[in-house]
Structure 1
Amino acid sequence: MTRSFLDVVEAWNGESVVTTFDSATGAWMFVALHDTRLGPAAGGTRMASYPAPVDGLIDAMRLAEGMTWKWAGVGIRFGGGKAVIAIPDDLGDEARAGLVDRYAAHLVSLRGAFQTGVDMGTTPEDMARIGAISGYAVGLVDGKPGDPGPYTARGVFAGIRAALAHRFGEAAVGARSVLVQGLGDVGFPLAGLLAEAGAALYLTDLREDAAERAQARFGGTVIPAGDIWDVDVDVYAPCAVGATLNPDTIPRLRCGIVAGSANNQLLSEADAERLRERGILYAPDYVINAGGAVAFAAIHQGERDETRLRAQVDEIGSSLREMFEEAASARESPLHAARRRAQRFLNANGGPSAGAR
């Protein structure tokens, strides 16, 4: 049964959701602010079609909470927020352009409570337009759009090396096999980094042509999307939709490590324990996929030196090593160590929550 808007909002532990209906297109805009103790909320804007508008609202809320833990987990003073624009399936290019402009105007009305960047379904060019209208897009350099994907991929690569070192005692990627699921803005450059390091690549995407493009560029083996659970690999790197780790799929996994860029990889937190019980090392998604957020936060604060930006992103590997060690000592999932780290930063820098807790 579809849940109502009221039921969803009443059950949420965040601070607020600003909801707008765009009558010109039939789209819904949801800006979810989960926790602003560390500062104004920042997070991507996702544009996608959903079975019902309430599903877009739920997605915005889940993603906003993930941003709270992401910013706190890497020690950056932004609040957790996310926006979802739930669009009809038949939205044309002209209608989409008008919708982006009206969304930017909507951000102006929030007066800086939410700053945004690229997410699934939006582009760097969208952010340049949103930034020009509203002034609330991050990742722009002199008004020109940046692409967070390569930075996110670099952070995932650093996280994979950290996980390999913890799980197998050696960070070298060259002797390992990696299944990259999703060859988009992050999965594609991640595949390139892995190929350059000598990994045995397995590539899969719901869009077969995307996997074939990656194979033509980097080599590797294309795996049909429905067959990924039958492939023996050292690392499974989910880089597409969330909730691929759940009670149905975890028993089928044939890997030693899960380390990828997708948001909300676990259907529920209980799935982290299911992974641990199977001896699979899980790199918490909101830490390992923070590379784009780390880089764009630094750019937003004036950093322009590419070497320093990359070094900040590479620190994700060091953070994950500490979490893996803490979790191993406590005989628990790294998810718990990641959450404690984030909570410590929130408590030390943000004070009591203003949200409904």
Structure 2
Amino acid sequence: MAVFSNSSFSEHEHVAFHHDPVSGLKAIIAVHNTVLGPSLGGCRMYPYSNDDEAITDVLRLSKGMTYKAAMANLPMGGGKSVIIGNPHTDKSPEIMQAMGAFVESLGGQYIVAEDSGIAVSDVHLMAQQTKHAGGLNAKFTYEGAPSDGNPAPSTAYGTFVGLKAAVDFALQKDLSELTVAIQGVGQVGYRLAKHLHEAGAKLIIADTFGPAVDKAQSEFGAKVVDINEIHAVDADVLAPCALGATINPTTINSIKAKVIAGAANNQLLTESLGQVLFDKGITYAPDYVINAAGIIDIHHQQVDSSAAKMKAHIEMIGTTLTDIFTLSQAQQRPTNIVANELAEAKFK
């Protein structure tokens, strides 16, 4: 089990492991960088096949949060946590409370929030054991309605804004003229599908969770394909909204879409694949830029702000992406490298 020699270690400040034999919790917290402020990042619960898979995932996610916060102009660093287990069958209040105690043991270095497999109600259980939990005292949504603390609606809206910016830049078409393939229709992917459906786009969807597929198919008239085929369908836009590394040497040559813009973290298995996408003429929206609205939401809930201010901040995602696309074109360099350098200039 490699940590320091893991290719994703990338100068992490702190990586902590915890096993609570009473509750059964097995978890990892990774703090990548705290130069701009305490690290904030969601807790993911997933049935990883082995420990190395969990370690690599948390390291990649944590690093991504540092870049995400920097590009969103937020006074915070990047961290992440993972719980090893199936969120549909293994989750319990005891595990959530034990996770809260684990977060508390880091003394504020890491602020936990919801993520894939973890609901806001789970973070409330964690908060019984830690004061370092984000997104629990939400006052408003970007639309102005009361909030239950779930940042997924903001993440989906920000992804929609970013997707539209990418389409405007690369295709110069209205969304009603397009077909969008959405890989994963969970909390964020479903809401993104709703935005796109209301804008008139045709949808192709895939997910491993049957009820989520059925819901999106019924409500949006979406075409359903296998999760292992979604990347290769005939579509104008591919929107990865599930787990990371779906753009990899196995899938990349089958991608027909001319725009990749989705909410998933760490979409590229390796940074070098950004060059491959660039050479293929595919406009890639760097994941940590387009999916930053969740932490933007959490930030605005913690300071003196308003729904209008938060919405304006989220909509800057489109402007930031357009700047990245423009620089990429001018410099003839892949968008992920351009974005990385802009972020690193802020936190290094």
- Once residues 283 and 295 of structure 1 are traced to their aligned partners in structure 2, the CA distance between those partners, rounded to angstroms, is 20
1:117–1:137 contact (8 Å) kept in structure 2: yes
| 1:216-235 paired onto structure 2 within 5 Å | 216-235=218-237
Q: Deviations over 1:28-86 (max 9, x none)?
A: 22111111111111101111221222322221111110111111111111111111112
Q: Deviations over 1:311-345 (max 9, x none)?
A: 21111011000000011000011111211211122
Residue matched to 2:335: 334
Asked if 1:154 corresponds to 2:150, the answer is no
Residue type of the alignment partner of 2:316: E
- Which structure has more RCO (C-alpha within 8 Å, separation ≥ 6)? 1
Asked if 1:121 corresponds to 2:122, the answer is no
Residue matched to 1:99: 95
| 1:122-137 paired onto structure 2 within 5 Å | 122-137=118-133
Query: CA offset at residue 6 of structure 1?
Result: 6.3
* Identity among equivalent pairs (%): 34
Query: CA offset at residue 197 of structure 1?
Result: 0.6
- Once residues 5 and 227 of structure 1 are traced to their aligned partners in structure 2, the CA distance between those partners, rounded to angstroms, is 33
- Once residues 212 and 85 of structure 2 are traced to their aligned partners in structure 1, the CA distance between those partners, rounded to angstroms, is 23
Residue matched to 1:344: 345
| 1:1-357 paired onto structure 2 within 5 Å | 3-5=1-3, 7-8=5-6, 12-87=10-85, 92-93=90-91, 96-141=92-137, 145-170=148-173, 172-303=174-305, 305-347=306-348
5+ residue gaps in structure 1?
Answer: 348-357
Q: Deviations over 1:214-270 (max 9, x none)?
A: 121122222232332442111000000111101111110011100000111001001
Query: CA offset at residue 169 of structure 1?
Result: 2.6
Residue type of the alignment partner of 2:54: G
1:235–1:259 contact (8 Å) kept in structure 2: yes
- Once residues 211 and 88 of structure 1 are traced to their aligned partners in structure 2, the CA distance between those partners, rounded to angstroms, is 19
Residue type of the alignment partner of 2:340: R
- 197-206 vs 232-241, which moves further: 197-206
- Once residues 78 and 205 of structure 2 are traced to their aligned partners in structure 1, the CA distance between those partners, rounded to angstroms, is 32
Alignment RMSD, CA only? 2.1
- Once residues 9 and 337 of structure 2 are traced to their aligned partners in structure 1, the CA distance between those partners, rounded to angstroms, is 23
1:177 to 1:25, Cα distance in 2 relative to 1, 3 A: same
1:141 to 1:28, Cα distance in 2 relative to 1, 3 A: same
Scaled by the length of structure 2, the TM-score of the pair is: 0.92
Scaled by the length of structure 1, the TM-score of the pair is: 0.90
Residue type of the alignment partner of 1:98: E
- 189-198 vs 13-22, which moves further: 13-22
5+ residue gaps in structure 2?
Answer: 140-146
